[in-house]
Amino acid sequence: MGRIVLVCRLAARDLRRRPAQAVLVLLVIAAATATLTLGLALHGVTSQPYQRTRAATAGPDVVVSAFLQNGGSPASLMALARAPGVTGHSGPYPLASPVLRAHGHTVAVEAERRDPAPASIDQPKLTQGSWVRPGEVVVERSFADVLGIRASDRVTLNGRPFRVAGIAVTAALPSYRWRVPA
């Protein structure tokens, strides 16, 4: 018990003789504790973002593309969907390569035609707006961020106007990481 009393007396004496330094030490300890607590609390939110997106979108394990000009066909895709070990599929979804114009930017894009009904596998998760309807499009979130596109904006694909119904994320394709020239 004598050692504890000695330490307490020394601490009290130090607090009386150096109050500014004691307050600074207390602030440093509080800041370190708050930073550690915040880091531990956010770990569950920021860890494994791809896995959370994959779970939210029923993301596929494999994405297959067949190009008609290279000998691909819808029949070959359907045969692949029935291959041993394949537990489910969605699509096929027709692809096009139109030019998108939005907010003064002109960009060649890859557009995928999707049904208004939800898909059992690879159903993009809306982060803004609603799902596709006739005359409307849904834009991938990171691509929309680069172009400044929001739900209800107007865009054109090969000169044909469309309303942006929503913004969505998908695990089937990597997020857009390029900058669009101004």
Higher pLDDT, 84 or 70: 84
- What are 102's strand-pairing partners? 105
| Claim: this prediction has a pTM higher than 0.85 | no
- Predicted confidence (pLDDT) per residue in 32-42, tens digit: 999 888 887 77
- Predicted confidence (pLDDT) per residue in 122-131, tens digit: 778 888 888 8
Reported as a pLDDT band with limits 50, 70 and 90, residue 70 is low
pLDDT at residue 180 above 70? Answer: no
Reported as a pLDDT band with limits 50, 70 and 90, residue 44 is low
Reported as a pLDDT band with limits 50, 70 and 90, residue 154 is very high
